[in-house]
């Protein structure tokens, strides 16, 4: 599927002329000056008023995205009329049946949403405490039957459109570049989108509506007349989502990325994770923009199975640490080889017993009991045999370690992730609802349904080969330069791949000739893998997870072991191609009994503790001098310092700088130039920490917490930009100045190791924290509530750090500030 276009602008111009919608004016129409006690700021202290404002923010963002959705449906319908007109001519582009299949129910969906938009828009324009709109959402939810019909036809519609494109050039041109009208206040009048992308919009829209209903309910008082109606609408929507046709596309989900693109499942599989010094079997899902590690929940009989998300990493934040960067992991006690062999023997014995019971038509309960024992042993073997470390790291600080049995598999996961990372990915944080929807989709989307053990195989599946495979690795060609080269061989055994053999290293050559023969024991094997490596002799490249030097994979390939081909007395010669490299080998299969194995303070003077407005007025500056000077010095000689702002400076140096700035000493610049850069960074952090109130103010704290928790991207954008506009000018200008500085620091992340998330973690709780009253209220709360607050503070700063440049002038314009990501 084509990637979804970025929507430009979000709100119909009909909303632009209404001051009640700008939130700079109160419900009585009284203008609010920046930094004054605006009605919204007062409303923060009044629960009902605050709820109304948040509802308005959510609805305004949703209306904006609804306009875009209607424009998308219009663009999809545009070619339908001329196509129908040509269908009855001597040169039809499509037949009537094809047209009705492709555009099935689109017109009905368009009419439903146009009517919904036209009804909701004036209610938001004329917003007051008496406005109700729950019945509109309830009516919209009650019409989901039309969506059900669309969904059931979706796959056929896609296939029909694809076939018509292949057979008709005229329709191909039409379907590849449909013109979507931009919002009325948008700079771009049209954007080009494919028909395939537009046909997916209705499926995606149901999830967006459900997220908005979550946000509306969160900010609607229980005694409000809308509350039961919204509850009913949410119940209908959720039931629809859970019953939606699973066959839409096994690799698609009605979840969108933060950029509004369709999130697809690329790869999934079972991996062993080292967690708390023990091995855990996980199901890992690689989506187009995120890696999610899950565990299958235990469910009672008759209930649907579900996954529990253990953790996730946005691909924009995922890195593979080099050996010298990785830290040694807690040692996991390896399983003794003899115990692994005992398990294999038990499995083989149980397998024989099952076959005997089947042959003698034994009782099914006895067979099931044997199968259960066999599964338990196979599961233990799968869990305890992997030894190859596969570490992934989140830029935000945490690492995760998997153990794999196959270097081929490790390479496949790494390559699949790196291929996706070549795209323009952005970091993000999933809301609890978004994470729930994504995790919920895993059960439907998974391509690997069972733990890869032989006891999970159906009776009619191929049992694989049992015996011995003789392989001669002859030579390899296609290397661009000389290197120290060797190969390894892997086969699947007991349901997973293991490395079985390794050639000698052929030194300093581009055409290695090994001519080495191996005898590999096959235990239900179906595939042979060959991996070609360049040997590394650099002792600094030692993987701290297993103390082995990391060699580079030059190429890898796999062939199926066809019994008819290999079960002959003669050698079968073949060539396997991998990344331009050709490896020649021969093989034959025998059932010989022997095998040959080869394995691998507060005052009005000074600057510290003084209100920022007092300091800027005294200095006649927009940004305090201390902030400007510290930032300038850090950017001059500390922007590439590893751990800048994270590593503490010497306390006595920081106190000396504080005293100099407070006294406005004429030697400030000289002292700065001689001071350790971490002390200067520490002085800047101390200045913000000692402000009488946080830079983002006490009164807006709860509003920031609620804004960052919104699920709908447009509503969140609307709210977060309004909150910035509500700050006093000195605070806002200083915040924007600091924001741009931190972004420049993060640009040097490859050198200084300080990502946007690291910087948000350092500065978030300093710039945004609850007032003393709220802190006292938190004293009776659990410790996890405190940690939740800190996480939210980090997320607020991270949101602005990840946002495109924010202009003070644009914020202060008398318009809403909208995101382009819908």
Q: What is the pLDDT of residues 45-66, one digit of tens each?
A: 344 556 677 888 888 888 888 9
As a whole-number percent, the residues of the chain with pLDDT over 90 amount to 28
Any domain includes 122: yes
- What SS3 class is residue 412? helix
Pairwise pLDDT comparison (688 vs 782), residue with the higher score: 688
Look up the CATH number of the domain holding residue 769.
1.10.555.10
State the pLDDT at residue 458. Answer: 57
Look up the CATH number of the domain holding residue 216.
1.20.900.10
Structure tokens given for 525: 């094997």
- Same domain as 185, residue 84: yes
> Among 222-226, 249-253, 480-484, whose mean pLDDT is lowest?
249-253
Per the document, the length of the chain is 822
- Cα(619)–Cα(621) distance, integer angstroms: 5
Structure tokens given for 527: 């595939």
Residue with tokens 């003899």: 338
- Cα(685)–Cα(766) distance, integer angstroms: 8
Any domain includes 97: yes
Any domain includes 491: yes
State the pLDDT at residue 70. Answer: 92
- Phi and psi torsions of 470, nearest 5°: -95, 125
- Cα(58)–Cα(796) distance, integer angstroms: 17
Hey, which residues does 588 pair with through a beta bridge? 470
Any domain includes 365: yes
* pLDDT of 595 strictly over 60: no
Any domain includes 16: no
- Phi and psi torsions of 605, nearest 5°: -105, 160
Q: How many CB atoms lie within 10 A of CB 14?
A: 15
As a whole-number percent, the residues of the chain with pLDDT over 70 amount to 78
- 43: confidence class by pLDDT, cuts 50, 70, 90: very low
- Same domain as 174, residue 63: yes
* pLDDT of 740 strictly over 50: yes
State the pLDDT at residue 327. Answer: 56
CA angle, 400 then 401 then 402, to 5°: 125
- Same domain as 367, residue 349: yes
State the pLDDT at residue 572. Answer: 84
Boundary-marking domain end, from 541, 561, 595: 595
- Same domain as 577, residue 548: yes
Any domain includes 29: no
Tally the domains of the chain: 5
Structure tokens given for 571: 């050698």
- Same domain as 210, residue 64: yes
Residue with tokens 């909303």: 15
- Cα(29)–Cα(264) distance, integer angstroms: 46
Q: How far is CA 446 from the centre of its chain?
A: 17
- The DSSP 8-state label assigned to residue 409 in this structure reads H
| Structural domain that includes position 290 | 255-329+387-456
Query: Within 13 Å of residue 769, how many CA atoms lie on the same side as its CB?
Result: 19
- Cα(707)–Cα(715) distance, integer angstroms: 8
Helix intervals (H) in 538-667? 563-566, 612-619, 625-637, 651-663
* pLDDT of 132 strictly over 80: yes
CA angle, 274 then 277 then 283, to 5°: 25
- Same domain as 208, residue 113: yes
- 299: confidence class by pLDDT, cuts 50, 70, 90: low
Residue with tokens 């039409």: 174
State the pLDDT at residue 591. Answer: 61
Any domain includes 5: no
Hey, which residues does 519 pair with through a beta bridge? 470
Q: State the sign of the Cα–Cα–Cα–Cα dihedral 623, 626, 632, 638.
A: negative
State the pLDDT at residue 271. Answer: 94
- Cα(456)–Cα(453) distance, integer angstroms: 6
- 700: confidence class by pLDDT, cuts 50, 70, 90: very high
- Same domain as 752, residue 652: yes
- 769: confidence class by pLDDT, cuts 50, 70, 90: confident
State the pLDDT at residue 304. Answer: 59
Question: Do the bridges between strand 262-275 and strand 252-256 make them parallel or antiparallel, or are there none, so unpaired?
Answer: antiparallel
- Cα(712)–Cα(822) distance, integer angstroms: 9
- 508: confidence class by pLDDT, cuts 50, 70, 90: very high
State the pLDDT at residue 128. Answer: 79
Average pLDDT over all residues of the chain: 79
- What SS3 class is residue 575? strand
- Phi and psi torsions of 259, nearest 5°: -85, 0
560 burial type by CB count under 10 A (0-12 exposed, 13-18 middle, 19+ buried): exposed
- 332: confidence class by pLDDT, cuts 50, 70, 90: low
Could you tell me if residue 105 is left (phi over 0), alpha (psi between -120 and 50 degrees) or otherwise beta? left
- Same domain as 128, residue 223: yes
Boundary-marking domain end, from 248, 269, 299: 248
Q: What is the pLDDT of residues 17-40, one digit of tens each?
A: 232 222 222 222 333 333 334 333
Helix intervals (H) in 726-781? 729-746, 749-752, 756-767, 772-778
Structure tokens given for 708: 């960052």
- 821: confidence class by pLDDT, cuts 50, 70, 90: very low
Any domain includes 419: yes
- 2: confidence class by pLDDT, cuts 50, 70, 90: very low
Boundary-marking domain end, from 219, 248, 277: 248
Structure tokens given for 689: 């920490």
- What SS3 class is residue 552? strand
State the pLDDT at residue 566. Answer: 67
Hey, which residues does 25 pair with through a beta bridge? 31
- Same domain as 762, residue 690: yes
- Same domain as 357, residue 392: no
As a 3-state breakdown, the chain gives helix, strand, coil percent values, each rounded to 5, of 45, 20, 35
For 407, residues 6+ apart whose C-beta sits below 8 A from its C-beta are: 388, 488, 490, 499, 531, 553
- Cα(820)–Cα(818) distance, integer angstroms: 7
Which residue, among 46, 56, 36, 260, has the nearest Cα to 816 in the 3D structure? 56
Structure tokens given for 437: 């929807």
490 burial type by CB count under 10 A (0-12 exposed, 13-18 middle, 19+ buried): buried
Q: Residue range 701-719: average pLDDT? A: 91
The secondary element (H helix, E strand) that includes residue 53 is: helix 47-77
- Same domain as 634, residue 686: yes
Q: Residue range 624-644: average pLDDT? A: 92
Terminal-residue alpha carbon distance, the chain: 18
Q: Residue range 290-317: average pLDDT? A: 83
Query: Within 13 Å of residue 578, how many CA atoms lie on the same side as its CB?
Result: 21
Q: Residue range 565-589: average pLDDT? A: 83
The CA distances from residue 178 to 70, 73, 340, in Å, are 14, 11, 60
* pLDDT of 462 strictly over 80: no
- Cα(821)–Cα(6) distance, integer angstroms: 6
- The DSSP 8-state label assigned to residue 128 in this structure reads -
State the pLDDT at residue 292. Answer: 96
State the pLDDT at residue 250. Answer: 39
Pairwise pLDDT comparison (754 vs 743), residue with the higher score: 743
State the pLDDT at residue 527. Answer: 87
What is the per-residue burial (b if ≥16 Cβ within 10 Å, else e) of 691-730? Answer: beebbbbbebbbbbbbbbbbbbbbbbbbbbbbbbbbbbeb
* pLDDT of 526 strictly over 90: no
- Cα(799)–Cα(723) distance, integer angstroms: 13
- 620: confidence class by pLDDT, cuts 50, 70, 90: very high
For 242, residues 6+ apart whose C-beta sits below 8 A from its C-beta are: none
- Same domain as 322, residue 282: yes
State the pLDDT at residue 188. Answer: 61
pTM above 0.85, yes or no: no
* pLDDT of 257 strictly over 70: no
Measured N-to-C along each axis, helices 106-125 and 134-142 cross at an angle, to the nearest 10 degrees, of 180
């Amino acid at each position: 599927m084509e990637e979804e276009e970025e929507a430009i602008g979000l709100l119909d111009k009909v909303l632009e002329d209404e001051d009640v919608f700008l939130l700079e004016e109160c419900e009585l129409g009284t203008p609010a000056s920046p930094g004054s006690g605006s009605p919204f700021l007062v409303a923060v202290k009044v629960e009902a008023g605050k709820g109304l404002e948040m509802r308005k923010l959510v609805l305004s963002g949703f209306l904006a995205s609804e306009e875009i959705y209607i424009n998308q449906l219009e663009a999809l319908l545009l070619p339908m009329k001329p196509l129908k007109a040509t269908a009855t001519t001597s040169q039809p582009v499509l037949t009537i049946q094809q047209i009705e299949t492709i555009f099935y129910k689109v017109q009905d969906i368009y009419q439903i949403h146009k009517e919904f938009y036209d009804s909701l828009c004036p209610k938001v324009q004329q917003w007051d405490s008496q406005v109700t709109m729950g019945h509109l959402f309830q009516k919209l939810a009650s019409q989901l039957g039309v969506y059900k019909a669309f969904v059931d036809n979706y796959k056929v519609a896609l296939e029909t459109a694809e076939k018509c494109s292949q057979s008709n050039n005229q329709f191909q041109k039409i379907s590849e570049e449909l013109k979507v009208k931009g919002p009325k206040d948008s700079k771009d009048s049209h954007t080009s989108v494919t028909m395939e992308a537009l046909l997916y919009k209705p499926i995606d829209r149901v999830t967006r509506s459900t997220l908005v209903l979550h946000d509306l309910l969160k900010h609607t008082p229980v005694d409000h007349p809308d509350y039961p109606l919204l509850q009913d609408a949410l119940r209908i929507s959720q039931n629809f989502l859970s019953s939606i046709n699973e066959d839409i596309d096994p690799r698609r989900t009605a979840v969108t990325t933060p950029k509004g693109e369709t999130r697809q499942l690329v790869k999934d599989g079972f991996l062993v994770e080292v967690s708390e010094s023990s091995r855990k079997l996980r199901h890992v899902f690689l989506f187009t923009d995120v890696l999610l590690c899950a565990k299958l929940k235990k469910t009672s009989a008759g209930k649907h199975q579900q996954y529990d998300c253990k953790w996730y990493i946005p691909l924009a934040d995922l890195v593979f640490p080099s050996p010298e960067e990785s830290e040694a992991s807690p040692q996991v006690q390896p399983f003794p080889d003899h115990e692994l062999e005992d398990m294999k023997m038990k499995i083989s014995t149980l397998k024989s017993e099952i076959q005997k019971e089947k042959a003698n038509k034994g009782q099914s309960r006895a067979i099931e009991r044997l199968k259960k024992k066999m599964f338990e042993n196979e599961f233990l073997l799968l869990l305890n045999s992997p030894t190859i470390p596969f570490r992934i790291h989140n830029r935000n600080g945490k690492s995760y370690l998997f153990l794999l049995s196959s270097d081929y598999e490790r390479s496949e996961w790494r390559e699949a992730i790196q291929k996706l990372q070549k795209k323009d990915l952005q970091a993000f944080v999933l809301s609890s609802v978004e994470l729930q929807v994504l995790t919920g989709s895993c059960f439907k989307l998974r391509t690997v349904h069972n733990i890869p053990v032989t006891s999970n195989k159906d009776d009619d599946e191929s049992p694989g080969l049992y015996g011995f495979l003789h392989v001669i690795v002859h030579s390899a060609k296609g290397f661009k330069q000389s290197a120290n080269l060797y190969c390894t061989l892997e086969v699947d055994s007991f349901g997973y791949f293991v490395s079985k053999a390794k050639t000698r290293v052929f030194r300093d050559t581009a055409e290695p000739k090994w001519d080495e023969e191996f005898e590999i024991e096959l235990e239900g094997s179906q595939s042979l893998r060959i991996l070609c490596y360049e040997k590394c002799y650099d002792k600094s490249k030692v993987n701290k997870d297993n103390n082995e030097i990391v060699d580079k994979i030059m190429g890898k390939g796999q062939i199926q072991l066809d019994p008819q081909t290999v079960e002959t007395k003669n050698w079968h010669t073949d060539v396997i191609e991998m990344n331009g490299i050709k490896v020649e080998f021969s093989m034959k299969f025998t059932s010989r009994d022997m095998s040959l194995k080869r394995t691998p303070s507060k005052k009005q003077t000074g600057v510290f503790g003084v209100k920022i407005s007092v300091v800027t007025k005294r200095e006649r500056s927009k940004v305090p001098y201390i902030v400007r000077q510290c930032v300038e010095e850090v950017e001059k000689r500390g922007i590439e310092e590893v751990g800048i702002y994270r590593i503490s400076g010497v306390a006595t140096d920081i106190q000396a700088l504080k005293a100099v700035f407070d006294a406005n000493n004429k030697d400030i610049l000289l002292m700065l130039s001689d001071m350790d850069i971490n002390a200067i960074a520490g002085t800047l952090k101390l200045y913000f920490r000692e402000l009488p109130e946080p830079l983002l103010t006490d009164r807006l704290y709860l509003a920031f917490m609620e804004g960052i928790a919104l699920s709908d991207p447009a509503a969140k954008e609307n709210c977060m930009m309004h909150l910035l506009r509500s700050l006093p000018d000195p605070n806002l200008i200083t915040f924007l100045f600091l924001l741009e500085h931190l972004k420049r620091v993060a640009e040097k992340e490859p050198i200084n190791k300080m990502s946007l998330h690291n910087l948000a973690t350092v500065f978030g709780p300093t710039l945004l924290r609850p007032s003393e009253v709220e802190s006292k209220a938190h004293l009776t709360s659990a410790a996890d509530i405190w940690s939740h607050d800190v996480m939210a503070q980090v997320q607020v700063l991270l949101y602005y750090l990840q946002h495109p440049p924010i202009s003070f002038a644009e914020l202060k314009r008398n318009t809403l500030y909208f995101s382009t990501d819908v």
